[in-house]
Structure 1
Amino acid sequence: DGELHIELQAGPVPAERDFVLEWRPASTDAPRAALFTETFNGETYALLMVMPPSGEALPAKRLAREVIFVIDTSGSMAGTSFREARTALRLALKRLSPRDSFNIVAFDSTAQRLYRRSVAATPERIGHALRRIEALTADGGTEMLAALKLALDGNTASSGVRQVVFITDGAVGNETALFDFIKSHIGASRLFTVGIGSAPNGYFMRRAAEAGRGTFTYIGRPEEVQTKMSELFARLESPVLGDIAVQWPGVVTEVFPERIPDLYLGEPLVMVVKASQLTGAVHFSGMRARARWQQSVTLSGGAAQGGIARLFARRKIDAVNLEQGYLRRELGREQARVQVRSKIVELGLAYHLVTRHTSLVAVEKERSIPAGEKVKPWPVPVNLPAGWEMEAIWGEDPDDASSTAMIAMMTKAAPSPADKGRKQQDELRKSAPTSQDALLVALNQRLPQTATSASLLLLAGLLLLGVALLLRRRGRA
């Protein structure tokens, strides 16, 4: 019946990582396309999927490239994530050919690059880079914008294809500013994000790769590093189709993505459109093995499939969020926020979607609490993401009964126990089971923050001012 039913082989498992479903399109000797359609509220939507050719049909010649590796060394990467990131970077460096050039940017609270400009991938340079990677440690904040500025500064030493490989968990809070910078500075470069760890910021990683006209690779387990990085670099070494142009007939009103990425081996190009009617044909063109490739797809007769309208709405919401930086410059921060929120609410209600500003409400028909009881909030137990190290997060032994970790895991609102007596700590331990608030306490109290702390800088400034005044008084005395 064209449907697949999937269930976990081992039965219930801890909810400590993302669920990942991997699939591959059937291989052919030339790029081919598939069309699916849906009518929703009287309007027509279509999903067009362009499949890459099989590996056997591709030329063996590799492109000369300039590859900029960006590695996240912030505190949120500590533990398994950072070990995976270093392994991924080592594998990537060893795949470079003498025709390639490369550079490395490492960032935490600051960003720095290994070389002022990219250098040829000679054995000596590769060996030097590998030794420097071994010296990297994960601590500090996450100043990702500074790293992007170094990676996309246009200071290139090569005429080859420029590819930026960004290895991170994506733990940032200034996504809008980052998206805006990528869109305005990507130029002819391509940005490829590599999500590391059991719980990376998938939204940021995918949208950043889309803005950078690249792809997103997710590595959730240590045993996946070699396979996933090998697959990624096999794609980057020989793009199937580049400089893609798409011409739609006049009946198509909106298309996402607005910027067409290159087509890579094993990854289909997926486009969603809204049209007044599906007639005529869409024309594709691009460069394949240094030769112009063209293909047309008729827009009538596509297979009917549900969910395409909502997928279109999701892509439009993503586009609205990506435009927020531009709107801030044109309208001001508050007006931009109001306009973006209004558009997202409108789309969420029209297409019945859960968004940042809209929710689905479920109303229970059967009462599940005793008569006379009032509904009250209660902490919900959660698991620490797989691979996170408790001691690295809390800065102390989590098994210690008097530690902040133990108390926070047992209370809904867990203030720091540093200034509390033993009796107060015992009361806190009895108040509630393990909850999500425990993680919030950890992130706020112990985990290195994702940007420079304004309050910390203010406190440091006041302390220095006090010292200066004290020294001045002593000098006068």
Structure 2
Amino acid sequence: MMSVAYNEETAKQAEQLSYSMQADFGGTELLDPLRYLKDNPPANDRSRQIFILTDGEVSNTNEVIELCHLMSSTTRIFTFGLGHSPSRSLVKGLARVTNGYFVFIPPGEKVDTYVGSQLRRALKPSIVNTHLEWHGLSSRVVQSPNVIPPLYADDRVLIYTMFENDEFDQQTVQVNFRVRCKTIDSTKFALDDIHRKGDTIRRLAAKAMIQQLQHMKQNDATV
């Protein structure tokens, strides 16, 4: 399997191929093609976006979602639930673990509008290979997600960072947002301001890190 440039000729080839396909396998099989994608990540400095359309269910929803979570540092998935009975947990789960988007298309509705809205999101510019650089901390920070996924225009990504409690003795710290070796943005703030905000952020960070450790453990078990 290889990528080809989009033009009038390749579009016609894709259209002809779609006419030759038959949905006669008796079920929805996602795991094998997604494994292929995981084993063949995009080139460096590139992000990858996948469109998945389904009108049914799979017998291994959790395994499929977990596999896609392992690709979330390079890949974003847009899902479409078609018809009367698509698996809502599958359609929502694949999009959520990869920072993508999902839509459900009711029976009899034209898909053009829904596909168009998803495509507009997918065509937004992105940056990859980003990281946070901390200054003014004496101990190593723990971050979740440990690898920042591709960042897209007008989208939000939450990144939690935890450090030792005695760091609050420091007056201010600085964090730089970097792409490779270039600093894109920088900000300074007082740690004491965070300390006074209570436990809500800490609990959210702890939950994110526990989930990250669980995903890592499950990945090790399947290797």
Q: Same fold (TM over 0.5)?
A: yes
* Number of the residue aligned with 2:122: 233
Cα distance change, pair 252–311 in 1 and its aligned pair in 2 (3 A): farther
Shift of 1:123: 0.9
* Number of the residue aligned with 1:315: 208
- Cα offsets for 1:52-102 (capped at 9, x unmatched): xxxxxxxxxxxxxxxxxxxxxxxxxxxxxxxxxxxxxxxxxxxxxxxxxxx
Write the letter of the residue equivalent to 2:2: R
Q: Distance in 1 between matches of 2:60 and 2:128?
A: 33
Shift of 1:264: 0.8
Cα distance change, pair 166–314 in 1 and its aligned pair in 2 (3 A): farther
Structure 1: runs of 5 or more not aligned? 1-115, 210-214, 331-477
Q: Distance in 2 between matches of 1:314 and 1:322?
A: 12
- Cα offsets for 1:249-281 (capped at 9, x unmatched): 345642211111122111023212223245412
Q: Distance in 1 between matches of 2:6 and 2:28?
A: 28
Shift of 1:231: 2.3
Secondary structure at the residue paired with 2:184?
strand
Shift of 1:124: 1.2
Shift of 1:147: 0.3
Question: Does the Cα contact within 8 Å between 1:145 and 1:178 map onto a contact in 2?
Answer: no
Q: Distance in 1 between matches of 2:215 and 2:15?
A: 36
* Number of the residue aligned with 1:203: 93
Q: Distance in 2 between matches of 1:322 and 1:312?
A: 15
Within 5 Å, which residues of 2 pair with 1:120-135? Answer: 120-134=5-19, 135=21
Q: Distance in 1 between matches of 2:132 and 2:45?
A: 25
The one of the two structures with greater contact order (alpha-carbon pairs below 8 A, sep at least 6) is: 1
Secondary structure at the residue paired with 1:283?
strand
Write the letter of the residue equivalent to 2:208: R
Secondary structure at the residue paired with 2:129?
strand
- Identity value in percent: 16
* Number of the residue aligned with 2:130: 244
Question: Does the Cα contact within 8 Å between 2:46 and 2:128 map onto a contact in 1?
Answer: no
1:175 aligns with 2:34: no
Aligned pair partner of 1:145 in 31, 52, 58: 31
Q: How large is the RMSD of aligned CA atoms in angstroms?
A: 3.7
Write the letter of the residue equivalent to 1:218: F
Q: When the two structures are aligned, how many residues end up with a matched partner?
A: 199
Cα distance change, pair 140–155 in 1 and its aligned pair in 2 (3 A): same
Question: Does the Cα contact within 8 Å between 1:180 and 1:325 map onto a contact in 2?
Answer: no
- Cα offsets for 1:446-469 (capped at 9, x unmatched): xxxxxxxxxxxxxxxxxxxxxxxx
Shift of 1:118: 2.1
Question: Does the Cα contact within 8 Å between 1:246 and 1:283 map onto a contact in 2?
Answer: yes
* Number of the residue aligned with 1:22: none
Q: Distance in 2 between matches of 1:151 and 1:312?
A: 29
Secondary structure at the residue paired with 2:210?
helix
* Number of the residue aligned with 1:271: 159
Q: Distance in 1 between matches of 2:175 and 2:41?
A: 38
Shift of 1:153: 4.6
Could you state the TM-score of these two structures normalised by the residue count of structure 1? 0.35
Shift of 1:152: 4.2
Secondary structure at the residue paired with 2:18?
helix
